[in-house]
Amino acid sequence: MSDAALLESLGYAEAAAPSTGATGVTVSDGRPRAIRVVGAFGPEARTIDASGTIVSVLRAEPPLPEGLWRSATPLGDDLLVVVEGRALARLNPNNTAQWVQRGAFHHEVLPQSDGTALALDRTAAAGAVHDRVLTLDLETGATLAILDLLPLARAAGLPIATVGDPLHANALEWTTSGLLISLRQPSALWWIDLGTAKSTRWTTGAWAAQHDPRSLPNGDIVLFDNRGAPSGSRVLRVDADGRERVWATGFDSPWCGAVDPLEDGGVLVTDGVAGRIVDVGPDGTVRWAFASPWTTGNGASRALLTEARAVLLR
């Protein structure tokens, strides 16, 4: 397989679970909500309220390169949209693109306070995918620096393959220990010093093929554990010493999934393959749940949800 074909082969399925069962809001505590959602239902970001009603839609005019909207990260009133494997764009509230940077962007973009952003992208060489961290100018989208993660991971002793998709980096997050990078293939959390481009530490645990680790105010990490549970998927909380605690269970996403810590101590969970969004309280109680009615293709499958983020309750 050529390097170009290798990258193309790693795309996401556009369908999730069969479109059966109840849809809409299935649990509610009556509180107001506003949640921005992206996924395989179409090239747009939808905001829903507590009733599951779509209250606003942001799409690009003219359209962005065709593909799955993987994430939509706020930047003031704008959104930074990752079109999986195709492009990264800055969209203004009037649906126009301030800039579009084409490339194999992947999962995550992380705005910085200095007018730059960190973004994940991918390239391939010698039969292996190289995940990279790009530093971009937020005003123009221009690439300012590139850090190839694969040689750095090999030097750090991470347990990775030599060909195929060795790392599959899927999240970036600043923590008290530095820049955290989530690596799906070795099921590792990896911290690097971005200034010196050196690895500081990495760890594995009871999780497997995890997504979206996020830092909590006390320094703990919350993550979506795709395949580490005896069955299904779950949300874990991991402390600074690597001790895990199960926060919530009952999810079913062997790939994708996201968590969004809330200001009140809860967490908003994207059960991506199942097409669900769930608000879980600090004690693990489900406070609100939404089963997406949005489908793909001929309507036989629920659309994969790649990310849901709280707009008001942060």
Q: How far apart are the first and last CA of the chain?
A: 45
Q: How far apart are CA 21 and CA 233, in angstroms?
A: 19
pLDDT of residue 176: 87
Q: Does the pLDDT value for residue 256 go beyond 80?
A: yes
**pTM beyond 0.85, yes or no:** yes
Note the Cα 244 to chain centre separation in Å: 21
Q: Does the pLDDT value for residue 213 go beyond 70?
A: yes
Q: b/e for 169-188, b at 16 or more Cβ within 10 A?
A: bbbbbebebbbbbbbbbbbb
| Residues 6 or more apart whose Cβ sits within 8 Å of residue 255 | 12, 209, 211, 226, 272, 273
**Domain 3-310: CATH superfamily, name plus number:** YVTN repeat-like/Quinoprotein amine dehydrogenase (2.130.10.10)
Q: How far apart are CA 11 and CA 5, in angstroms?
A: 11
Q: How far apart are CA 265 and CA 274, in angstroms?
A: 24
Closest residue by Cα to residue 43 from 274, 306, 298? 306
Tens-place pLDDT, residues 64-120: 999 999 999 999 999 999 999 999 999 999 999 999 999 999 999 999 999 999 999
Query: If you search the block for the tokens 């195709």, which residue do you land on?
Result: 86
Give the pLDDT band (50/70/90) at residue 12: low
- Type and span of the H or E element at 282: none
Q: Does the pLDDT value for residue 217 go beyond 70?
A: yes
| Residues 6 or more apart whose Cβ sits within 8 Å of residue 80 | 71, 72, 73, 74, 88, 89, 90, 91, 109, 111, 117
Share of the chain above pLDDT 70, in %: 93
The pLDDT mean for the chain works out to 92
Share of the chain above pLDDT 90, in %: 86
Burial of 194 (0-12, 13-18, 19+ CB in 10 A): middle
Tens-place pLDDT, residues 122-173: 999 989 999 999 999 999 999 999 999 999 999 999 999 878 999 999 999 9
Q: Does the pLDDT value for residue 232 go beyond 70?
A: yes
Give the pLDDT band (50/70/90) at residue 292: very high
Give the pLDDT band (50/70/90) at residue 6: very low
Q: Does the pLDDT value for residue 193 go beyond 80?
A: yes
Q: Does the pLDDT value for residue 9 go beyond 70?
A: no
Closest residue by Cα to residue 185 from 131, 257, 262? 131
pLDDT of residue 110: 98
Q: Does the pLDDT value for residue 14 go beyond 70?
A: no
Q: In what order do the strands lie in the sheet with 45-49?
A: 54-58, 45-49, 34-39, 305-310
Strand partners, 73: 80
Tens-place pLDDT, residues 23-66: 999 999 999 999 999 999 999 999 999 999 999 999 999 999 99
A 10 A CB-CB count for 31 gives 11
- Type and span of the H or E element at 232: none
pLDDT of residue 312: 66
pLDDT of residue 186: 97
